[in-house]
Structure 1
Amino acid sequence: MKKYLLVWLLLAAGATYARQTTLSGYIQPVGQVQLTQTYDGNFWKKATELIQPAASGYFVKTFNGAATRWLWIGEDARRKIILLSPGRPLQVTLKNNALFFSGAAAKENNLISRLELESTQQLPFIKELGSDGGYARSPIDSVIRFKFPQIIQLLDSVRRVVKQARLPVAVERTVQTELTYHYANAVTGDLTYWLNRGQNREGFHLRFIDTIQAYFPVPAKEELAISPAANRYLERLFRMRLWKAFYIYQADKDRGRADSQFLRTTGISMAVLQSERQRESEMLLFSKRLKGLLPAYAWEKALNNLLYNLCMSGQVQGAAGLLQFIQKHSSDGRLVKDAEAMYAPLRKARDQYAGNLNIRIRKDYRSVSTLDSLLAPYKGKVVFIDLWGTWCPYCISDMEYEPVLKKQLEEKDIVFLYLAQDEDKDDEKWRDFIFANNLTGEHVRKNQSEIGMIWNALGVPEKEWSYPRYLVADRSGRIVVGSAARPGKGDELYRQLLQVLNE
């Protein structure tokens, strides 16, 4: 009996090991490191955590589950993508922002590091776009006939490198998938931008979209479950097909034929779509109603990805409506559960922080019309001004670093003032974001025409307005730092604020 019990325990331990992934290592110099997990194939900021190592710099983190997973390690521009697989422990040493690997999973992660999957800017055909005499100015037919095959040849050669690495089957499949859609995103993003910049080629988009789809079809369901790059490409593919459907409709002078074609392509008539256009944002409407543009499984995943984006940006109302739509129309029970799990912490946070007295939406925010009136309540205090918008992903990503800054300065005479450029119709969306993200501080919202008071006071012409922008006002209400460091830049902003506080 004891013999059988021992065998059973060994089998159970082996099964548990196969369902767990361990990440450990050292951070030098000792300090916190940010770790972001993927959730349903997307990097999910709600799954971001700060790893606090021991005094020696050592840390260990265990993940449950039988699937491979991608993670970001590090912060902002210095972050690196790594791959964890069950039963293949990975040890990392993060030394002065350089990453070194050891352990069973070192093989694939050293390969991934060489592939530079963090940014498409490192791909040779993207670098070439910015060079003098680059192919961005070539006729589109030339790009399609000659450059595109070269890009695919390059991708195939890199695929062979991955194949020759002799990785475990599941690991190789995961890396190959991410690699493929990494190239697809470079083509649909950077390359498309450069080719179309300042150009007005007749039929450019139609031919280019057809070429892209021939090389990079709709990602498979299994690929969308594991690959962040595949999910980004799915969104871009939907937008391309959407653009093509509208272009063909508008170009056809025969309204009857155009209507029939649009209905066959999208699954909805243009008349019905136009009648619903005023009730919600266009992208939300198109995603929900134009299901004919994608296979059913991909359309349902695209809806979940859109919900993910709404939750990431704290859009409680839009997310709630989309969740109800997913619950009603999705045939994939797993996706429904994932959608509910995505929305739950957003709703909880919105309710939890609604009564936070450290979040103050100024009662006079609609009447604020000058820089002086904006800063008047804070005379005698240093003011850090965060110019942002709920539509601005870079603004939102840098906000993740501000709680640490606030903690460092909590005993100082400083005010964190958030000045949002959001339109009047998005007032509730703005409020939801503030409370859902526990954005402590003072809050003012101005629409696009009103926000000019700040930019004009700074002497910045409208064509140079960009977000996010960070300002620092001294105790007299005078702007002394017109372009402060971003919160994600570590201690640089802290030092700037401390200098003004000590003056």
Structure 2
Amino acid sequence: MFFRMILFSAWLASHSLHAQLTLSGQIEGTKPGASVSVNVPYDCYYYPQNSVPVSLDAKGHFSTRLTLTKAQIIFLDYAGKRLYLYAQPGRSVSLTAHAQSWPGTVRFSGELGAENAFRQRLGLTMNQLGKPTWNDSLSDPQLILRALQTQQQTGLSLLKQQPKKGSLAFQQMTQADITYFAVSKLWDLIWQNGVWTQKNKSVYDRSAWQQTLITAYQRVDLSNPLALSSYAYQQIITYYPRYLQHQASTKDEFVPIAERVFGKPFAQINQEMKQKGERYWVYSALQYGLQGRALERALASFLINGIEQGDLAYQLEAYTDFKQRFPQSPYLPDVQQYMKPYLASIDPAANPQADIQLLANSARFVNLDSLLATHRGRVVYVDIWGSWCGPCRQEFTYNRALKERFKNKPVDFVYVAVEHGAQPEKRWREAIHFYGITGQHVLAGSDLEAYLRGLYPEQDNLRFPSYILVDALGRITTVEANRPSQKEALYHQIESLL
């Protein structure tokens, strides 16, 4: 968390000279204490920790200023619904709506009012394009694709006929959002239906969606330099490595795909993947499928989002390659700012953290009794996590408030990591220091992992993250303790044991 604060401060400092967007509005009929949430994403990625609540006054008015470096989409959330707003540095946009009919009654004004009203007409403000003529789970994926392509043609025609064209940045972004919308929407439906899981809600199987996705990707230019600001384009580039994987239904089908991507025998690829991890595949797949400015932007995004997500496997290697490949990249200053906390966290001399205790010889701990023997007389909050687990990493952002609440009280924090990927000890250590996770740490061996699984007999697998509370006598009081993000609910659980 300490390094995430440094990262945010550095980002603000590096962007302080850029113009700001003024975002304001009124939502009538709101309840006292209501607020909207605003998020300025890097590309299409949404990170909750970057959302900023903006309070509404008694009449539902709100106003905020956002630092932007380019024309882009920003998110505005209210009452569980999200608006995708077109934004430009140094401009303004305002909206009015009524809470009971949100977001159907939204009206736009301000310098970017016409642009957002046009995108609203297309459906893009709600991440739609026209009105769906299909059923998400019952319709044939090929029928859905054809319907989306028809809507794309209509949208492009409306854009061409628009009397007020807006800025060149607006025209390029909106045209690209329409052009790439079909592929982007297919991905949304695939995740929504759980197509790649055993709980597929679609009546059509994986192979039907797989073939539709292949058809859709074959119709688009993946290296379009005029589409870089488009949310839909960014999404299909983000998922491109998965698209390559999902072209194969079996390992035998995947072998020739992997050999084309890496340009080497699969046996060698397999060994490298074991050493470097999944993100090595992602980085390599982007290099295989993209070129020019599109590749440069995608690799910069890979690095920045690795830091944002805390998914640090292959991060240093990719950063070194990016600097050598694109030494004059306009994205390099941003990448370097994001990388600073990570580089500091892996430098022991520059990063002394006495409150972090990494327990050696982890295999000697076979259960919680052996692990927590030195904590008798104190309440212990056990966090079961993995560096590969996104929700686990997200919870770390709430650690500072948790530990401040129980400062100088007999409460200890013990972190048990379960790692099965490439270079498990390296990834474990890097994540701990990157997030500045104070407390006692152990990398679970097979015996301790089996013991932990046995604490949850009703589950098929150990769920991550999981949290356990142990009282001062060493007794487990619950194996389903609240998460740090649940704040007061967790604080009450811990306080009840003191």
TM-score normalised to the size of structure 2? Answer: 0.72
Larger displacement relative to structure 2 (172-181 or 231-240)? 172-181
Aligned residue for 2:339? 343
| 1:359 positional shift | 2.2
1:239 aligns with 2:242: yes
Measured on the aligned residues, the alpha-carbon RMSD in Å equals: 4.9
C-alpha distance 143-44 of structure 1, shift in aligned 2 (>3 A): closer
SS of structure 1 residue aligned to 2:469: strand
- Counterparts in 2 of 1:358-373, with a 5 A limit? 358-363=355-360, 365-373=362-370
Measure the CA separation in 1 of the matches of 2:487 and 2:162. Answer: 40
2:365–2:448 Cα contact (<8 Å) kept = no
SS of structure 1 residue aligned to 2:443: strand
| 1:430 positional shift | 1.0
Aligned residue for 2:12? none
SS of structure 2 residue aligned to 1:38: coil
| 1:231 positional shift | 2.6
Aligned residue for 1:48? 50
1:440 aligns with 2:444: no
| 1:361 positional shift | 2.2
Note the alpha carbon deviations across 1:132-163, whole angstroms, 9 max, x for none.
xx24xxxxxx542x332123345666778888
Measure the CA separation in 1 of the matches of 2:181 and 2:483. Answer: 28
Pick one of 304, 310, 317 that aligns with 2:306.
310
| 1:432 positional shift | 0.8
Measure the CA separation in 1 of the matches of 2:305 and 2:239. Answer: 14
1:361–1:442 Cα contact (<8 Å) kept = yes
Measure the CA separation in 1 of the matches of 2:357 and 2:87. Answer: 42
SS of structure 1 residue aligned to 2:403: helix
2:21–2:88 Cα contact (<8 Å) kept = yes
Aligned residue for 2:401? 404
Aligned residue for 2:291? 295
C-alpha distance 96-386 of structure 1, shift in aligned 2 (>3 A): farther
Aligned residue for 1:21? 21
How many residues align? The count is 461
- Counterparts in 2 of 1:63-462, with a 5 A limit? 63=67, 65=69, 67-72=70-75, 82-90=85-93, 104=110, 105=112, 128-129=136-137, 134-135=138-139, 143-144=141-142, 146-154=143-151, 168-169=166-167, 170-171=169-170, 173-174=172-173, 177-178=176-177, 184-188=183-187, 190-191=189-190, 194-195=194-195, 207-218=211-222, 220-224=224-228, 226-244=229-247, 250=252, 266=261, 268-270=263-265, 273=269, 276-285=272-281, 287-288=283-284, 291-314=287-310, 318-330=314-326, 333-351=329-347, 354-363=351-360, 365-423=362-420, 425-446=423-444, 450-461=448-459
Q: Relative contact order: is structure 1 or structure 2 higher (C-alpha 8 Å, sep ≥ 6)? A: 2
Note the alpha carbon deviations across 1:3-59, whole angstroms, 9 max, x for none.
xxxxxxxxxxxxx999442346899866998754333x2548699376798999977
| 1:477 positional shift | 2.9
Note the alpha carbon deviations across 1:166-215, whole angstroms, 9 max, x for none.
67344465456456656533413542765555599796576334312145
Note the alpha carbon deviations across 1:401-452, whole angstroms, 9 max, x for none.
3322332333433223322221383111111111111122332222567423
Measure the CA separation in 1 of the matches of 2:404 and 2:36. Answer: 17
Identity %: 18
| 1:347 positional shift | 1.2
2:85–2:125 Cα contact (<8 Å) kept = no
Measure the CA separation in 2 of the matches of 1:477 and 1:119. Answer: 51
C-alpha distance 210-482 of structure 1, shift in aligned 2 (>3 A): same
2:377–2:472 Cα contact (<8 Å) kept = yes
Instruction: In structure 1, list runs of 5 or more residues that go unmatched.
Output: 1-15, 136-141, 253-257
Aligned residue type for 2:410: D
Note the alpha carbon deviations across 1:36-89, whole angstroms, 9 max, x for none.
4333x2548699376798999977435254x22334467997876544323432
Instruction: In structure 2, list runs of 5 or more residues that go unmatched.
Output: 1-15
Aligned residue type for 2:431: F
SS of structure 2 residue aligned to 1:483: coil
C-alpha distance 107-486 of structure 1, shift in aligned 2 (>3 A): farther
